[in-house]
Chain A
Amino acid sequence: MNPIALILFFPLLGFAVNGILGSKLPKNVASWLGTLMVLMSFIVTLGYLNQIASDVENSIKWNAYTFLNIDGLLFKASFALDRLSIWMTLIITGIGTLIHLYSISYMDHDKNPAKFFAYLNFFIFNMLLLVLGSNFLMMFFGWEGVGLCSYLLIGFWYQNPSYGHAARKAFVMNRIGDLGLLLGMFLIIKNYGSLEYADVLPAIAQGNGGTVLLTSIGILLFIGAMGKSAQIPLFTWLPDAMAGPTPVSALIHAATMVTAGIYLVIRCQALYSLAPMAQELILWIGLATAFIGALIGLRQNDIKKVLAYSTVSQLGFMFVALGVGAYTTALFHVTTHAFFKALLFLGAGSVIHGVHERQDISVMGGLKSKMPITYVTFLIGTLAISGFPLLSGFFSKDEILANVFHHNIFAYIVLVFSALLTATYMFRLLFLTFHGTFRGSDYSLSDVHESNWKMTVPLIVLAVLSVFGGLLNLPHYIMHSGGLLSNWLNPTFLIFENPIHAEMSTEIVLISIAIGVFLFGLIYSRNQYITKGLHPESPQSGMGNVLKNKFYFDEFYDKAIVKPIEFLGDILFSLFDTLLLYGATFSVHPILRFVGQLNRKIQNGNIEYYLIYMVGAIALLLGLNLLLA
């Protein structure tokens, strides 16, 4: 059996079994089954790593089914396991397995964990469709599928209406982006006559298509990426998506789904290389997102919200990397971010679990003594994201900064400042949660407990990966032949420009700045929250308030977009629906009744009338017969 089919089959099977039989299975069986399925996919993928690694051109293809054949334009369900997709698959299934394992314990007390695992498996399936698809169609299929799963999982505890709203918001915002994606795909179909990567991308690389066309397609595809990967202006769904269970946040909104947009841009590298304006757009939007996300995260008091804005900001970093043409760097940051953000989210989930479902850091503090493993792993995650030297985040972030430096100084400065903010708010989170004095009022420190092995083992694994993840793409000044990922991915690019290697002196300056940023964040936060012992801020006015209220983005959207649309809907409803539809439908009955009443009068029981009708009818029939015969 084709390995791709196998990889796709396991999560789908898990979804089917858990979905249909889930409620009848014991909780344990359903949970472990789901986890096992993802693990199987991971193992199969690993098995073929060697084959893909042996040659750049090697790839495993699978042409499953042809949906439509319209005059030569084929809509196929075809997949390809090449270097980019196998990398993404390993991330998805590897981290997916860890998160599934974590969820077994996390969702243990829920009344229907089987449904959860069914949805999770379905999500993995769709995400794999997305990355394994060898044409835009399957990518889109998976794109929509993960959007659906995101909706299902965010609103998993739908009994709370605000969770349902959050799910809906995520889906709708996603769809706004999808419009751009679809338009881009339509342009591709029209101009290249195919949706296959293997047809379109080489054609683009060979110069088929003017700059205007390529820029348009690029921008449209990026709009889709904006929705999926939470860039400004379509990012407000991500913090609200924290309504879902924490494993969902970890898997979908940190490690995998939100990286789909980045995957798309990397896949279309040939296109973006030839459309510099589109790249510029990506750069500036990514920059804005990185900056604003970091700012908002500085004044949030919900653990998960801080991490959510951190994700938004880090995604901005990745898009900045894409915007300066450093595609491999972006993928590198995707990988390391997956490691430490998943770690951080799972750690947050462990904390939430340990303090009995509280998420506000105002009522936490001093937890490190009670939750040592969680504390240590969370610390490692924080260090990684803040850029502690030699950890994974350090290398990936530094590479981005270096690439941006060579492109645009202003962007570099803003990005460095964003990195500074990142370090600051992350350490703020760490210190307020784990250090200091315990601030809980309606529960006591002795109630706090560490989580069991199913939750701590993934934490430990991810912590190790966060520490050593940097090995995946060591910079050229350490490894002269180039990092592993660079050598892995760069040859697959159709239009490749050799990266600019700065001089060693510039590199040292940049590294120093990075380390300095990290130290500033650490020391400043330590000062604020440990030495001075400040409590988490609840600013009532000024800039702090603005940050706390997330720059009033949601309120603005509500007033500017949502309310007008609702108003328009009301008008149209009262105009068209009420008048025309209801009017037409409900007037049928009175009309029929009226006609019936008229007819009733004929039957008055009077023979004379009947006789006249009869004679009239006979005359009519005979006459018609005469005329027509």
Chain B
Amino acid sequence: MDVFSNLPLPFLILSFLTILGALYVVTSKNPVHSVLALILTFFTISAHYVLLNAQFLAIVNLMVYAGAIMVLFLFVLMLLNLNKESEPIKSNLWGFAAAISAGLLLLVLTAAFQTSGIAVMKANAEGIGLVKNLGRVLMTEYLVPFELTGILFVSAMVGAVLLGKRDKNDSVKSEETL
């Protein structure tokens, strides 16, 4: 793979961190550690976004993903008291199977890319990722989906609340904090 010879250092370091973080997410025994590793991964991905002239996305990524969603995960983890991971260890065979499947897909995608021969494009327009530009596009081209996301959120909220409601037929005793 001769493409790796001229890589700039920042990119290398960032990618390295990203992949490391991702690996730790999937292999850690402690779920809290997994969450924290994922947050780190998000940070690095945001850095990638900055590199890619997608500044707004970088910030939104941090705010929404790392800030809100991961906190939510952490919150639920704490709620369920899963600090000490009592997850039974999966058999090695299973690990192999999962690794092989994932690896297979990786292989196929890579091969697909190799044969596709994407033309190298280098034109980059400054400022395409700035809020001003994105905002304009959002409000003109993507207005309808934008409004629809509002409805989506409402339904998600309603759904989450409904699902989280406790009703009388629960098998859990009332003293539980859940």
Contacts and interface: CB of A to CB of B under 8 A. Distances in A.
B112 A626 contact: yes
Contact of B111 (A612, A615, A616, A626): A626
User: Which secondary structure characterizes the binding site on chain A?
Assistant: helix
Interface in A244-287: none
B115 A616 contact: no
Interface in A575-629: 608, 612, 615-616, 618-619, 622-623, 626
A285 to B, nearest CB: 85
Interface string B96-119: 011001101101110110010000
Nearest to A618: B105
Given A626-B111, A626-B112, A619 B98 contact: no
Contact of B102 (A608, A615, A622): A615
Nearest to A627: B111
Interface of A: 608, 612, 615-616, 618-619, 622-623, 626
Contacts of A618: 105
Contacts of B111: 623, 626
A615 B107 CA distance: 13
A622 B109 contact: yes
B108 A619 contact: yes
A623 B97 contact: no
Contacts of A619: 101, 104-105, 107-108
B108 A612 contact: no
Given A612-B97, A612-B98, A626 B115 contact: yes
Interface string B30-67: 00000000000000000000000000000000000000
A608 B94 CA distance: 10
B87 to A, nearest CB: 13
Contacts of B112: 622, 626
Nearest to A625: B112
Contacts of A623: 108, 111
Contacts of A612: 97-98, 101
Interface in B68-106: 94, 97-98, 101-102, 104-105
B32 to A, nearest CB: 23
* 8 tightest A-B CB contacts, nearest first: A619-B104, A615-B101, A619-B105, A622-B108, A623-B108, A619-B108, A612-B101, A626-B112
A616 B107 CA distance: 12
Nearest to A608: B94
Contacts of B97: 612
Nearest to B106: A619
A347 B115 CA distance: 102
B108 A626 contact: yes
Contact of A615 (B94, B105, B115): B105
Contacts of A615: 101-102, 104-105
A615 B108 CA distance: 12
A151 B120 CA distance: 92
Nearest to B94: A608
A331 B129 CA distance: 117
A212 B112 CA distance: 80
A618 B102 CA distance: 11
Nearest to A614: B101
Interface in B99-157: 101-102, 104-105, 107-109, 111-112, 115
A419 to B, nearest CB: 100
Given A619-B107, A622-B108, 6 more contacts: A615-B102, A616-B104, A618-B105, A619-B105, A626-B108, A626-B111
Most chain B beta-carbon neighbours within 10 Å: one of A612, A618, A619, A623? A619
Nearest to B103: A619
Contacts of A608: 94
5 contacts: A615-B101, A619-B101, A619-B108, A622-B112, A623-B108
B100 to A, nearest CB: 9
Contacts of B108: 619, 622-623, 626
A371 B109 CA distance: 109
A619 B98 CA distance: 13
Contacts of B98: 612
A622 B113 CA distance: 12
A618 B97 CA distance: 15
A616 B109 contact: no
